Amino acid sequence: MTDQKIRIATASLAGCFGCHMSFLDIDEKLVQLNERIEFNRSPLTDIKHCGPSDIGLIEGGVCNADNVRVLREFRANCKVLIAVGACAINGGVPAMRNYFDLRECLEEVYLHGTGVTNPQIPDDAELPLLLDKVYPVQEVVRIDYFLPGCPPPADAFLQMLMPLLDGKAPHIANNQLHYD
């Protein structure tokens, strides 16, 4: 392998940014990691679109049209795409809205909810339309690896990334595997 740094892109779709926070929980190991990687598009950088990258980390499920666009952009540009956290893997807590019709949810929040003034459902073309349901990312694009947890433990990020940096298959230890 050359000295060229491994390019990592990250995104939060219908996520809470908790998976990104858990990634940052590797603390000072981030400094070591940073010697081997560089970030492409990520909430941690200013890059607006995902360019060719070695690894993409996706947090959050797919809840609106913009999520679909971003997810497809990542799939097209990342050699390895990883679903990070319960939301990306199975929709997570936001998928509890799948128990209801989308219209019921919008009407409850924007029309009939407590304290609503000037009731109207936002319909500006700038706003991405919500999908009928919240979808796991692998129901939209192919995913290479899954990192479970809500959020995954900080160490699990290292167990996933370090072997990948060396071109090996990652292995999540049993004690790092949880869905909650």
Partner 1 sequence: MGYHAMAINQNTLTIDGKDVYFEQGQTIMDAALAAKIYIPHLCHYPGLPPSGNCRLCVVETNGKSVAACITQAQAGLRIHSNTPELNAVRKTITQMLFVEGNHICPACEKSGNCKLQAMGYYLGMHEEHFHHFNPRRALDASHPAIFLDRSRCILCDLCVRASREVDGKNVFAIAGRGADAHLIVNTDSGKLGDSNLDRDDLAANICPVGAIMHKQRGYVSPIGQRIYDQQPINEIALGEHVPESTERDHD
Among 3, 27, 166, 180, binds partner 1 (CB under 8 A): 180
Residue 147 in contact with partner 1, rule: CB under 8 A: yes
Task: State the minimum distance, in angstroms, from the CB of residue 37 to partner 1.
Answer: 23
Residues 96-125 that bind partner 1 (CB under 8 A): 96, 98-99
Question: Does residue 174 touch partner 1 according to CB under 8 A?
Answer: yes
Residue 150 binds partner 1, judged by CB under 8 A = yes
Position 15 contacts partner 1 (CB under 8 A)? no
Binding residue count for partner 1, defined by CB under 8 A? 27
Q: How far is the CB of 162 from partner 1 (least distance, A)?
A: 17
Nearest to 14 by CA among 51, 63, 58: 63
Closest contact distance (angstroms) between CB of 13 and partner 1 is 16
At 118, the amino acid letter reads: N
* Window 64-83: contact mask with partner 1 (x via CB under 8 A): -------------------x
- The answer to whether 148 contacts partner 1 (rule: CB under 8 A) is yes
Q: Is 86 in the site for partner 1 (CB under 8 A)?
A: yes
**DSSP letters for the chain:** --SPPEEEEEEESB--SHHHHHHHTTTTHHHHHHHHEEE-SSTTS---S--SEEEEEEESBEEEHHHHHHHHHHHHHEEEEEEEHHHHHH-TGGGGGGGS-HHHHHHIIIIISTT--S------TTSPPEEEEEE-GGGTS--SEEE-SSSPPHHHHHHHHHHHHTT------GGG----
- Measured CA distances, 49 to 17, 77, 129 (Å): 18, 10, 20
Of the candidate spans 25-33, 36-44, 115-123, 134-142, the one that interacts with partner 1 by CB under 8 A turns out to be: 134-142
List residues binding partner 1 (CB under 8 A).
83, 86, 89-93, 95-96, 98-99, 133, 136, 138-139, 143, 145-148, 150, 172, 174, 177-180
